[in-house]
């Protein structure tokens, strides 16, 4: 069966791309390997979906090319997405630092995207696994539900984070199959694990939170940190984890000193000053606890204007599968909306 566009992955980026392509009168089919669409949307923001950030700028993103994401983010802004919410009468609020959440549940965002797909005449096939892709004049996509042909193929399969909701390396495999390189991937926005001595001493602080500046190299974030049974989490730690690499040190400057923390610190380090604590984590909690994947399809292989592969006409990569990673606070969703919107104008 033939389509103008086949999109693999019914997450934030894939659905946005489908909506835009459908509005342009393209015949579009979305394939999703899970039984339901938007599983990452559903669990995000504690079930309320931190769907964008009012303060989105290119500085809130990590990529080997610091300029690649500027075009898409400038062309589809947080205000553009908010307009869609208002059309669907979805109430929302700013929690802090420009972070916008649904008043109700993240299911409202999923329903909105599905309604938009429906209005644009876009069918979505769930429980559909892709078994092979061949390129001729267009693309032939073999699945467990039959074969589909298309002129444009969009890969919106996400990264490696949170495998329990079905994430795989499929997008990277497709990229390599067509000769695109992958920037090295690692877990991002992920809790850090302490070495055994510190873990034993500080494990009792699990649940204690304090205001701190957390630094890795030249990058620093000031927000809360949270002690866990195995190490450290909280917004400041999650933010810096996307920059941290194995073997590097982390420095924490506490700005508040809960009594339990002071007592434990003195047991571990004696009377030395508490202003600054430098340590080398033993690692991270890995992709199972990571909110995003740092790295991905090399942006040098893609057009920043269209998200199309430079050397494979008709092949597009959008969302988390690309080497563009946002900070904590709604920025990764904004990249998904923006990159999906951009590709939707050209497929």
Rounded mean pLDDT, 59-84? 98
Q: Assess whether 200 and 246 both reside in one domain.
A: yes
pLDDT at 234: 98
Q: Assess whether 153 and 196 both reside in one domain.
A: no
Q: Assess whether 176 and 195 both reside in one domain.
A: no
Cα separation, 67 vs 235, whole angstroms: 25
Quickly state the pLDDT bin for 330 (edges 50, 70, 90).
very high
The predicted-structure confidence for 12-38, as pLDDT tens digits, reads as follows 999 999 999 999 999 999 999 999 999
**182 part of a folded domain:** yes
Partner residues linked to 29 by β-bridges:
6
Q: Assess whether 156 and 207 both reside in one domain.
A: no
Q: Assess whether 274 and 300 both reside in one domain.
A: no
pLDDT at 11: 98
**Residue that terminates a domain, selected from 233, 254, 284:** 284
Cα separation, 83 vs 340, whole angstroms: 16
**289 part of a folded domain:** no
Do β-strands 92-94 and 99-102 pair in parallel, antiparallel, or remain unpaired? Answer: antiparallel
Those residues with Cβ within 8 angstroms of residue 75's Cβ, 6 or more apart along the chain or in another chain: 338, 341, 342
**Residue that terminates a domain, selected from 284, 314, 334:** 284
The total domain count for the chain is: 2
Cα separation, 137 vs 105, whole angstroms: 43
Q: Assess whether 54 and 95 both reside in one domain.
A: yes
Partner residues linked to 52 by β-bridges:
100
Rounded mean pLDDT, 228-235? 97
Say how many C-beta atoms besides its own lie within 10 A of residue 91's C-beta: 10
- Which phi and psi angles does 13 have, rounded to 5°? -70, -45
Q: Assess whether 181 and 212 both reside in one domain.
A: no
Specify whether the CB–CB gap between 10 and 26 falls below 8 A.
Answer: no
Distances (CA, A) of 2 to 26, 28, 134, 269: 12, 9, 14, 67
**Ramachandran assignment for 126, one of left (phi > 0), alpha (psi -120 to 50 degrees), beta (any other):** beta
The predicted-structure confidence for 163-199, as pLDDT tens digits, reads as follows 999 899 999 999 999 999 999 999 999 999 999 988 9
Q: Assess whether 146 and 62 both reside in one domain.
A: yes
Q: Assess whether 245 and 320 both reside in one domain.
A: no
What is the DSSP secondary-structure string of 161-185? S-GGGT--SHHHHHHHHTT--EEEE
Q: Assess whether 270 and 299 both reside in one domain.
A: no
pLDDT at 269: 80
pLDDT at 271: 79
Q: Which CATH number characterizes residue 215's domain?
A: 2.40.30.10
Cα separation, 53 vs 63, whole angstroms: 19
Q: Assess whether 10 and 159 both reside in one domain.
A: yes
Q: Assess whether 271 and 301 both reside in one domain.
A: no
Domain with 331, as residue range(s), is 2-186+294-344
pLDDT at 265: 84
């Amino acid at each position: 069966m033939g389509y103008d566009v086949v999109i693999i992955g019914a997450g934030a980026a894939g659905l946005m791309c489908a909506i835009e392509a459908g509005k342009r009168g393209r015949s579009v089919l979305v394939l999703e390997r899970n039984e339901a669409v938007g599983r990452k949307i559903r669990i995000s923001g504690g079930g309320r979906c931190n769907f964008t950030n009012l303060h989105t700028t290119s500085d809130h993103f990590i990529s080997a090319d610091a300029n690649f994401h500027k075009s898409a983010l400038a062309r589809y802004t947080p205000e553009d997405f908010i307009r869609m919410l208002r059309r669907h009468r979805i109430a929302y609020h700013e929690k802090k630092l420009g972070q916008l959440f649904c008043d109700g549940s993240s299911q409202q965002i999923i329903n909105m995207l599905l309604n938009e797909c429906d209005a644009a005449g876009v069918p979505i096939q769930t429980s559909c696994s892709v078994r092979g892709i061949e390129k001729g004049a267009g693309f032939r996509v073999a699945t467990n539900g039959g074969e589909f042909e298309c002129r444009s193929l969009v890969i919106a399969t996400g990264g490696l984070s949170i495998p329990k909701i079905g994430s795989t390396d499929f997008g990277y495999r497709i990229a390599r199959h067509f000769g695109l390189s992958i920037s090295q991937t690692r877990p991002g926005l992920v809790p850090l694990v302490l070495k055994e001595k510190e873990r034993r001493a500080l494990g009792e602080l699990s649940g204690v939170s304090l205001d701190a500046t957390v630094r890795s190299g030249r990058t620093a974030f000031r927000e809360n940190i949270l002690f866990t049974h195995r190490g450290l989490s909280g917004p400041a730690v999650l933010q810096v984890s996307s920059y941290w690499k194995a073997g590097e040190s982390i420095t924490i400057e506490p700005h508040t000193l809960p009594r339990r923390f002071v007592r434990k610190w003195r047991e571990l380090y004696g009377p030395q000053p508490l202003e600054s604590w430098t340590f080398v984590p033993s690692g991270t909690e890995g992709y199972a606890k990571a909110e995003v994947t740092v790295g991905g399809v090399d942006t040098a292989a893609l057009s920043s204007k269209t998200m199309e592969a430079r050397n494979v006409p008709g092949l597009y990569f959008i969302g988390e599968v690309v080497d563009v990673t946002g900070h904590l606070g709604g920025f990764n969703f904004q990249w998904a909306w923006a990159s999906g919107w951009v590709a939707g104008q050209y497929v």
